[in-house]
Amino acid sequence: MGQTRRGFIRMAAGLGAAASAAPLLELGRRLGAEEPAPRKLGFALVGLGKLAGEQIAPAFKNSRLCRLAGLVSGHPDKARQWAQQYGVAEKNIYDYQTFDRIKDNPDVDVVYVVLPNSMHAEYTVRAAKAGKHVLCEKPMAISVKECDDMIAACQAANRKLAIGYRLHFEPYNLEMMRLAREKVFGAVKLIEASAGFRIGDPTQWRLNKALSGGGSLMDIGIYALQAARYISGAEPVAVSAEATVTDPVKFKGADESILFHLKFPDGILATCTSSYATGLSRYWAGAEQGWFELSPALYYHGIHGRVSAQDGPKDMQFPDIDQFAAEMDDFADCILKGRASKVAGEEGRRDLKIMMAIYEAAATGKTITL
């Protein structure tokens, strides 16, 4: 062939108008020409804590569309050490005071907010004003009003906003959604979802309501709420709840454990548990002709799923993926293709609204209508 593969792609792409290049690119594909490598978007991490260090930063090596390009931290020595470890240019390090200067940095396309919950709104709004797309960790914020401000700021700046709901990209959780949506066992009637872990250090921000916005519900119970919503495929119409504290010294301001019921249209009920007192990681859906479950359901790795069958439960078989790479790649793809994210700000806002109703139900003992 007189034409190299790369040359062919360049020629086809160089034709300019997508309409006229498309048939040539298709021909190139059939001849086995390589696809041009996708442009990787530059992400800046804000808050270099446990999640950023143990899960997100290492996930870039498994990402197709994202690269670690910037670091924002209150600790310059740590930021410099991360920069060396991950090959981030020192000029792309910021602290919380210099953060707004990120607007002048073309290396950074996306700001990933990995701060304590009460700081999510401020840094999302500042990132949007700096012209950056925002991926913000869950919970989206600590009030519905903050969610509204974050959505409005990103809309005003014409930037995308997504929430770090990694399980929306995880194969076992996606299978739970599919089994329910396609009514593989008939219509789902009852859901149980439990999420919890035993919290350690009593001085950490998670137990300080001003920084966490609550306690276990905002942090881990949100997974049970999410599961009930994405398995039912519906929005709850009413909630009731009961909170309990077994360690009043540790849980002075924050909630320890909350049991909550969500009532969905058609009478579907979800029984959910959120806890900082004990480990919990289980989703179960009971349908007309069987059940399906995940246990553990929400770990970073090792999720296990089963479905009922006449001759005994059968294991689900799916790959164990890097959930953070998948979540970041989906957001990058949304930006590059101009498509909507399935975990956009509106999705985070829905959870905040329901969690506020759960807190109200627990405090008053009343059923709260949504």
Catalytic residues: 138, 223
To the nearest whole angstrom, how small is the minimum distance from the Cβ of residue 194 to ligand NDP?
A: 16
Q: Give the whole-angstrom CA distance, residue 255 versus residue 275.
A: 8
Binding flag, residue 219, ligand NDP (CB under 6 A) = yes
Binding flag, residue 74, ligand NDP (CB under 6 A) = yes
Q: Give the whole-angstrom CA distance, residue 112 versus residue 358.
A: 28
Q: Closest Cα to residue 70, out of 40, 97, 39, 109?
A: 109
Question: Where does this chain touch ligand NDP (CB under 6 A) — which range of 10-18, 72-80, 254-262, 344-352?
Answer: 72-80
Q: Closest Cα to residue 113, out of 158, 70, 168?
A: 70
Q: Closest Cα to residue 242, out of 367, 369, 370?
A: 367
Tokens for 331?
Answer: 């957001």
Nearer to ligand NDP, 137 or 264 (CB): 137
Nearest residue to the partner ligand NDP, using Cβ: 49
Q: Give the whole-angstrom CA distance, residue 43 versus residue 239.
A: 38
CA dihedral 200, 53, 280, 357 (to 10 degrees): 90
Nearer to ligand NDP, 171 or 290 (CB): 171
To the nearest whole angstrom, how small is the minimum distance from the Cβ of residue 41 to ligand NDP?
A: 19
Nearer to ligand NDP, 9 or 121 (CB): 121
Nearer to ligand NDP, 164 or 305 (CB): 164
N-terminal to C-terminal alpha carbon distance within the chain: 66
Nearer to ligand NDP, 117 or 257 (CB): 117
CB of 368 closer than 8 Å to CB of 238? yes
Binding flag, residue 138, ligand NDP (CB under 6 A) = yes
- Residue in 28, 42, 47, 70 binding ligand NDP, rule: CB under 6 A: 47
Backbone angles phi, psi at 286, to 5 degrees: -100, 125
- Residue in 28, 70, 164, 215 binding ligand NDP, rule: CB under 6 A: 164
Q: Give the whole-angstrom CA distance, residue 159 versus residue 334.
A: 11
What is the β-pairing status of strands 238-244 and 368-369?
antiparallel
Tokens for 320?
Answer: 């164990």
Nearer to ligand NDP, 28 or 215 (CB): 215
Residue 355 CB-half CA count within 13 A: 31
Binding flag, residue 61, ligand NDP (CB under 6 A) = no
Binding flag, residue 226, ligand NDP (CB under 6 A) = no
Q: Is 224 left (phi over 0), alpha (psi -120 to 50) or beta?
A: alpha
To the nearest whole angstrom, how small is the minimum distance from the Cβ of residue 212 to ligand NDP?
A: 8
Question: Where does this chain touch ligand NDP (CB under 6 A) — which range of 21-29, 50-58, 177-185, 229-237?
Answer: 50-58
To the nearest whole angstrom, how small is the minimum distance from the Cβ of residue 15 to ligand NDP?
A: 43
Nearer to ligand NDP, 74 or 279 (CB): 74
- Residue in 159, 166, 349, 350 binding ligand NDP, rule: CB under 6 A: 166
- Residue in 116, 213, 305, 348 binding ligand NDP, rule: CB under 6 A: 116
- Residue in 33, 83, 110, 114 binding ligand NDP, rule: CB under 6 A: 114
Q: Give the whole-angstrom CA distance, residue 56 versus residue 240.
A: 35
Binding flag, residue 51, ligand NDP (CB under 6 A) = yes
Q: Give the whole-angstrom CA distance, residue 267 versus residue 169.
A: 28
Please tell me the count of residues contacting ligand NDP according to CB under 6 A: 21
Residue 16: count other Cβ atoms within 10 Å of its Cβ.
8
Binding flag, residue 205, ligand NDP (CB under 6 A) = yes
Question: Where does this chain touch ligand NDP (CB under 6 A) — which range of 45-53, 58-66, 272-280, 314-322?
Answer: 45-53
CA distances from 218 to 232, 235, 251, 254, 269 (A): 21, 18, 14, 10, 21
Binding flag, residue 73, ligand NDP (CB under 6 A) = yes
Binding flag, residue 146, ligand NDP (CB under 6 A) = no
Backbone angles phi, psi at 8, to 5 degrees: -60, -50
Judged by the rule CB under 6 A, the positions of this chain that interact with ligand NDP are 47-52, 73-75, 78, 114-117, 137-138, 164, 166, 205, 211, 219
